Every structure is written in structure tokens, then in C-alpha cells.
Amino acid sequence: MSTITESVNVTVPIRRAYDQWTRFEAFPRFMDGVEEVRRVDDTTLHWRTRIAGVTREFDARITERRPDERVAWKSLNGPTHAGVVTFHRLDDTTTRVTVQLEIDPEGFADKAGDRLGALTHRVRGDLRRFKTFVESRGVPAGGRPGRSLPPLTAR
């Protein structure tokens, strides 16, 4: 199991950073290799990814949701992973977004890529693209934000 922690400071208020992140359907706009994220219900997301020519589909459950603070998840099938994204107010217009991800790479190629730091590089790149995406928009794009759903506590 590998653990990755990466952060980025975005020049938007915490509410906008959280609202954009929790519009999961917009992930393909800034996450490399993510083709689709679709809400199945209030806590379940269906993902389709294509990385290094390999397409995978899996479901993930949101296990914790605290508006403007954090969103946590764990996979239900497919690649075994879990994580949390936290939002830290630095000032009125700046937010630190931190991703902590634990993943158990599947297969030889995934394990080799993990050892070479490919996963860390991917997460870092996704956060940089999120920064550009959220800072370039006046309002969040894609799907409904997690704020419109009731908070969840860890299960």
C-alpha cells in the first residue's frame, strides 16, 4: 500500500474551492486519465479511467463530507484505494487543498509505476490543473456541489 500526500494553494475562497472539488462530474476537466465520474447516489460515484491504454471502471463511496473542510472516500471495487481531500483557509481569498491517498497498485505495471513515482507525479499534476481550472472560473462548473448534500461522518 502506497501513501501519497500533495497540496496546492489556490487563489479562491474556501467555499469556491470546496464547491468545485465536490462537483465530481467535472473531474475529467483537470484529472489526467479520468474519462468520466458519475454520481450513482448521494454517496456513491462511478468512475471510468483510461491510463496507459488500460480502461478501468470502479465505484467509490464517500465516507465523510464536511462542507468547506473535507471529503473522504474509499473504493468499493476495482483498484483498492482510499483518501481524503482537505480544505484549509489561508486567508479570505486563498485556500490550501491537500490530497492524501492510500492505494494498493494492481498488477506488475502499476506496481512498477508506483515505485518510480508515477502516481505521485499524477496527483501533483492533477492538483496543478485543478488550481488553473478553479482560478480561471467565476463560478464552479459541472454537477452539483457536495454542499447541497447533508454532511456525512465517517462510517
pLDDT band at 23, cuts 50/70/90? very high
Rounded to whole angstroms, the Cα distance separating 71 from 69 reads: 7
What confidence score (pLDDT) does residue 2 get? Answer: 85
Region 8-20 average pLDDT: 96
Q: What is the DSSP letter of 139?
A: S
Share of the chain above pLDDT 70, in %: 80
What confidence score (pLDDT) does residue 54 get? Answer: 84
Region 98-111 average pLDDT: 72
Q: What's the pTM? A: 0.84
Burial string for 126-148 (b: 16+ CB within 10 Å, else e) reads bbeebbebbeeeeebeebebbee
User: Tens digit of pLDDT for each residue in 70-97?
Assistant: 999 999 998 888 999 999 999 999 999 9
